[in-house]
Structure 1
Amino acid sequence: MPPKFGTSGLRGLVTELTDDLIRDHVVAFAKSCDIGNCVYVGQDLRDSSPRVATATMSALRDFGVDVVDCGAVVTPALAMAAMANGSAAIMVTGSHIPADRNGIKFYIPDGEITKAHEAAILANLGSALDEHMEMGKQTAFNAEPAFVDRYLHGFGKTALAGRRIGVYAHSTVGRDLLQTILASLGADVTELGRSVTFIPVDTEAVDPETRSQLREWAAGSDLDAIVSMDGDGDRPLLTDETGEVISGDILGQLTAQFLNARHVVTPVSSNTGVKQLGFESVLHTKIGSPFVIAGMEDVDGPVVGYEANGGFLLGFEATGSAGSIDPLMTRDSVLPLVSVLVAGQGRPLSALMEHQPQRFTAADRLQNIERETSLALIERIKNDPAWFADHFNASIVDTDETDGFRMTFSDQTIIHVRPSGNAPELRIYVEAESAVTAGKLLDAAYSTIKALSD
């Protein structure tokens, strides 16, 4: 599959992300979008990221754009620094996808690019450079201190006093930053599982091996929680004291409650229990942060957005346990982690979960399936949903085609299938009244769909 460009950025195999291809997309971005004062550039810890970042900054300078090199940094810190300076940003990351792939993600001074920006960039591919253009300058900047201060100001130095928190470091670019933030809030931090090779952690579909490792770490310690994030630090991972993963959409609704939001915008794949929590409005969108942001912009009042992967967007000036927290209209992993840990202070996180609506989600993916194949599989299910439902001894009472195909069964379980927007994968989401039922349903749905693909 050749590199693909969309609102999630340009992503593809490292071998196919050539310097010329990178230059073409970066120049098209600079030509077609408002980049403000300059462009901030960051990168994750993949082996290929320094080369891709160098090609990105070189293309910008050749186009006469000043560059601020932020080095290895989490995406929300990069975006926050750029927006504070009235500047655009480019993050070099493949997020949660394997190490043989990488990508670049674009931000205008207001935040993530939209579908309109995507179209403009595509229309400007192939543009030639002006040979007489003056070279842009390059400087360096550390975006992390201001990002740490965001949480210190909002939560205070004792917010997590007495909390014993494990940090699954793996290869996330935010592994040291996350430990710094938690320690600055008073937590006793223990690092776990640091890796010198890149590990693609998908916080929306945590694999069985990782779940087992998290439980082992929890069983062998007196930790109150284990936290982590994906490769570029915009998607959180949190477990309770037993090492059980708390899904990202539950983190989202807990954080929305803690921050006293009145309106919630979240993709159709998120847990439906949020509708039972008393928010003034809950809007479901297509999957992807651009759709969530668009939905948030249409809402008046204190609004937040989140995705099933846990990435959280703050659309108003909120108040933490100690002070104000400025809006940040891009996915952030740290705010939901800290908010839920603070909300649960003084009791086990498992007890905090007992007060949430008893709806449980689970997700998995069929990998190495091209988009065309995924679409064909979904079309087959749509054409004969009763046949598909027979595999689960239930009937379908409702369907939703907002994004992919989502089926609600007579027992109120849900199966939702859609092609990934940024990787050759078919995503499978389920929802049920218990975690055990959700797990069994996901296994059955995966097996059934996998058999169709063979």
Structure 2
Amino acid sequence: MELFGSSGIRGVALRYLTPELVLDIAKAAGTTWGADRVAVARDTRTTGELFANAAASGLAAVGCDVDRLGVAPTPAVGHYCESTGVPCVLVTASHNPPEFNGIKLVGDDGVELSVDVLERIERRVLDDDYDHTDWRGAGTTTRVEGVVDDYADQLIDAVDRDGIADAGLTVAVDPGHGAASVSSPRIYRELGCEVLTVNATPDGHFPGRESEPVPENLTALSRLVATSDADVGIAHDGDADRAVFVDETGSVVDGDTSFAALADDALKPGDAVVSAVNVSQRLVDVCADNDADLELTPIGATNIITRTRELYAEDVHVPIAGEGNGGVFFPPYRLSRDGAYIGAKFLELLAAADEPVSEVVAPYTDYHFVRINAEYDDADEREEMLSAARAYVETSAATPNTTDGYRLDYGDAWVLVRPSGTEPKIRIYAESADADRAERLAEEMRQAVESGR
């Protein structure tokens, strides 16, 4: 696909992502859906309202009435779509920096669109093919209240509220000034936790930290947990579809580690897990221990959703899916990532174990994971760097997995190189039980990639 990447469309606002492009995407989506009503929502970014207005105009131009949801976490949008049967154009750039914005398209079942539907919408944009209405059929706009409250209520009902409350947990929450600022602190309080917060005021400039919940951006949360005797810290990205945890000492729990712990709790023999090609050996081990299958896809939520749907159509049970970046799906709940729900499931795990976070995740910490990026300036440089990566891979004794980029498995370690679907970067991942080996594999691949500049 030319427009849609691994998780929607993203780019620098008013440079790549323009009101004109958002207008066209909304018209194409409205035409493809053929729906009488379509919702529009956004995260807290400063350009969010501008692009939400453009999306609403595009939808109205093809005859759709528009439900304006305002600022809402992506999972709250999913609940609204599922409960009302109304699809949504969601303005968000998820974990990207504040100068970015983007578009996600959510179906009337509350799930991001599959690849085939996105391809149809993209083709309409590229062909300038829209079902415009005239002045008599133009859509009207309605502002919808209570979307976040309704979402919070159903989430609380979907988890073991009593078990969490009985554990008497203190939870430190860092929404990163994003959409979770209006939801997660309330959710965890109503689950019976004492809640502390940092970076919890909605602000699209993200003044307290960058939006991506990676260790270097979570120093304030780590400090809060360590100095307050909190049991756990929970951090979200800009649209609140991810959750990353901090243990009781203030150390950030690797996302692959928490994913493995949650999967070990969820899996039974005969189940399947869907994850991406950068899957950690931690999850491979958990699947083997539980006699469960592991299905690998290209990186990105859209690909994981598509494969999970295919497995459900084959009557294969998929209790958990996702990636090691904090983006975990619990398909029996909803086939979408929900940061607050991921956090609540982790609280269930803590409550049942009656142990601190560090001990709960200890069985899944045997591997060292490295991720580094090589940036490029334009499409030509990108292709030169990927060609250099291909040449390096061809000299390896390992057979590459080409599901998404090139993954080399060495038995005791692996390395993966692939282009990002959302940023001008080549991603390099490596993992090994030996930290030095993981670092060396990643650095050797980086040098090979950057030799192509």
State the TM bucket, normalised to the shorter chain.
0.7 to 0.9
1:426 aligned partner, one-letter code:
I
Q: CA 1:118–1:7 in 2, change beyond 3 Å: closer, same or farther?
A: farther
**Separation in structure 2 between the aligned mates of residue 420 and residue 120 of structure 1, nearest angstrom:** 22
Show CA shifts across 1:46-93 (max 9, x none). 110011111111221232211111111100110121122111111101
Q: Which residue of 2 aligns with 1:42?
A: 41
CA contact (8 A) 1:287 1:403 kept: yes
**1:209-224 superposed matches below 5 A:** 210-224=217-231
**Taking structure 2 as the reference length, what is the TM-score of the superposition?**
0.86
Q: Which residue of 2 aligns with 1:448?
A: 447
Q: Which residue of 1 aligns with 2:334?
A: 328
Q: Which residue of 1 aligns with 2:90?
A: 91
Report the CA distance between 1:308 and its aligned residue: 2.4
Alignment counterpart, residue 317 of structure 2, candidates 297, 302, 326:
302
Which region of structure 1 is more displaced relative to structure 2, 121-130 or 18-27? 121-130
**1:414-429 superposed matches below 5 A:** 414-429=414-429
Q: Which residue of 1 aligns with 2:257?
A: 250
Q: Does 1:377 align with 2:385?
A: yes
CA contact (8 A) 1:363 1:442 kept: no
Q: CA 1:163–1:453 in 2, change beyond 3 Å: closer, same or farther?
A: farther
Q: Which residue of 2 aligns with 1:263?
A: 272
Report the CA distance between 1:115 and its aligned residue: 1.9
Show CA shifts across 1:309-340 (max 9, x none). 22222222xxxxxxxxxx31122222222112
**Separation in structure 1 between the aligned mates of residue 104 and residue 323 of structure 2, nearest angstrom:** 18
**Separation in structure 2 between the aligned mates of residue 448 and residue 242 of structure 1, nearest angstrom:** 35
CA contact (8 A) 1:65 1:135 kept: yes
Report the CA distance between 1:439 and its aligned residue: 7.0
**Separation in structure 2 between the aligned mates of residue 403 and residue 190 of structure 1, nearest angstrom:** 40
**Separation in structure 2 between the aligned mates of residue 80 and residue 279 of structure 1, nearest angstrom:** 32
Report the CA distance between 1:227 and its aligned residue: 0.8
1:284 aligned partner, one-letter code:
L
**Separation in structure 2 between the aligned mates of residue 245 and residue 446 of structure 1, nearest angstrom:** 26
Secondary structure of 1:344's counterpart equals helix
**Separation in structure 1 between the aligned mates of residue 325 and residue 34 of structure 2, nearest angstrom:** 29
Report the CA distance between 1:452 and its aligned residue: 2.7
**Taking structure 1 as the reference length, what is the TM-score of the superposition?**
0.86
**Separation in structure 1 between the aligned mates of residue 394 and residue 5 of structure 2, nearest angstrom:** 34
Alignment counterpart, residue 226 of structure 1, candidates 210, 225, 233:
233
CA contact (8 A) 2:115 2:306 kept: no
Q: Which runs of 5+ in 2 are unaligned?
A: none
Report the CA distance between 1:242 and its aligned residue: 2.0
Q: Does 1:275 align with 2:279?
A: no
Which region of structure 1 is more displaced relative to structure 2, 181-190 or 398-407? 398-407
Q: Does 1:80 align with 2:88?
A: no
Show CA shifts across 1:229-252 (max 9, x none). 111111212111122222333333
**Separation in structure 1 between the aligned mates of residue 194 and residue 437 of structure 2, nearest angstrom:** 34
Q: CA 1:150–1:169 in 2, change beyond 3 Å: closer, same or farther?
A: same
Q: Which residue of 2 aligns with 1:312?
A: 328
Q: Which runs of 5+ in 1 are unaligned?
A: 317-326, 388-394
Percent of residue pairs identical = 24
Q: Which residue of 1 aligns with 2:343?
A: 337
Which region of structure 1 is more displaced relative to structure 2, 183-192 or 267-276? 267-276
Q: Which residue of 2 aligns with 1:155?
A: 160
Q: Which residue of 1 aligns with 2:409?
A: 408
Show CA shifts across 1:171-218 (max 9, x none). 211123111111111111111234642254224xx253x254444333
Q: CA 1:443–1:218 in 2, change beyond 3 Å: closer, same or farther?
A: farther
Q: Which residue of 2 aligns with 1:139?
A: 142
Q: CA 1:441–1:292 in 2, change beyond 3 Å: closer, same or farther?
A: same
CA contact (8 A) 1:7 1:115 kept: no
Q: CA 1:28–1:447 in 2, change beyond 3 Å: closer, same or farther?
A: closer
Per residue, is there more strand in 1 or in 2? 1
Q: Which residue of 1 aligns with 2:211?
A: 201
Which region of structure 1 is more displaced relative to structure 2, 152-161 or 183-192? 152-161
Report the CA distance between 1:7 and its aligned residue: 6.0
Alignment counterpart, residue 365 of structure 1, candidates 373, 376, 392:
373
2:61 aligned partner, one-letter code:
D
- RMSD over aligned Cα atoms: 2.6
CA contact (8 A) 1:312 1:332 kept: yes
**Separation in structure 1 between the aligned mates of residue 272 and residue 73 of structure 2, nearest angstrom:** 27
**Separation in structure 2 between the aligned mates of residue 400 and residue 218 of structure 1, nearest angstrom:** 40
Q: CA 1:67–1:438 in 2, change beyond 3 Å: closer, same or farther?
A: farther
CA contact (8 A) 2:171 2:196 kept: yes
CA contact (8 A) 1:264 1:279 kept: no
**Separation in structure 1 between the aligned mates of residue 277 and residue 222 of structure 2, nearest angstrom:** 29
Report the CA distance between 1:9 and its aligned residue: 2.5
Alignment counterpart, residue 185 of structure 1, candidates 191, 203, 207:
191
Query: When the two structures are aligned, how many residues end up with a matched partner?
Result: 429
Secondary structure of 1:352's counterpart equals helix
Report the CA distance between 1:260 and its aligned residue: 4.2
Secondary structure of 1:112's counterpart equals coil
CA contact (8 A) 1:157 1:184 kept: no
CA contact (8 A) 2:428 2:442 kept: no
Per residue, is there more helix in 1 or in 2? 2
**Separation in structure 1 between the aligned mates of residue 397 and residue 200 of structure 2, nearest angstrom:** 45
Show CA shifts across 1:108-140 (max 9, x none). 213211221122112222235233441222222
1:202 aligned partner, one-letter code:
E
CA contact (8 A) 1:224 1:348 kept: yes
Q: Which residue of 2 aligns with 1:116?
A: 116
